[in-house]
Amino acid sequence: MVLLGLLLPVVGIDRVTGQLRLTMGLEQLLPGFDFLVVAPGLILVAESLVCLFSPALLLATYTRRVTGWRDPAVSTVVAIGMRIAAVLIIAASCYLAFRAMERVWDIGLLGLLGAIGVACKVFGWNRLVLLLGFFCSVLLEQWTLQTMLVLGGDPTGVLKSPISATLLAAAGSILAVASVLSLRRALTRNTAGAAGA
């Protein structure tokens, strides 16, 4: 999710060189993705879409995260109120998305991001990590560019400093350990699922 978040702001015109990046020939992607479209789409619209489908399901997705909580019963009046609130939230998000860049395209993008947010909710992917990557991507790109300018375009210059080499080695080790643990957990689940079948 972090990598996807870091990749989304890359779409559009490069601020330094003016080159097109990942636009796939679509003129609407030239300005890139706006945070005021991505964040409400992934969070607000996704939650509202789940609520429109089933208010009880929306509440159940939160009660499952807390041990000991049971799924609450939702009366018809409360369900109607929740659905009305969901429609209002979607309408407000569409208005915000349109006002951000004055483009109808962003409303469609908001719906697409809402569907992706629902998928994230179903599969347990962390949307907040994606948003954090999206938010930090521009700063990371600027810092990387500044570093490359200072080093004269030689990426191995980063390894000449003991502090940066140690930090890179630590980051690589953390990534390797996280990958191994994630793979191990997936294999354990598959083995347990196969044994149960």
Per-residue pLDDT of the chain (197 residues; tens, 9 = 90+): 888 888 888 888 877 777 888 788 888 888 888 888 899 999 999 999 999 998 888 888 777 777 667 777 788 898 899 999 999 999 999 999 898 888 888 899 999 999 999 998 888 888 898 899 888 888 888 888 888 888 887 877 777 888 888 988 999 999 999 989 988 888 887 777 666 55
CA distance 131 to 119: 15
**CA 105 centroid distance within chain:** 19
- Residue 29 corresponds to which tokens in the numbers above? 């992607």
CA distance 156 to 197: 51
pTM of the model: 0.72
Measuring CA to CA, which residue among 3, 37, 173, 22 is closest to residue 108?
37
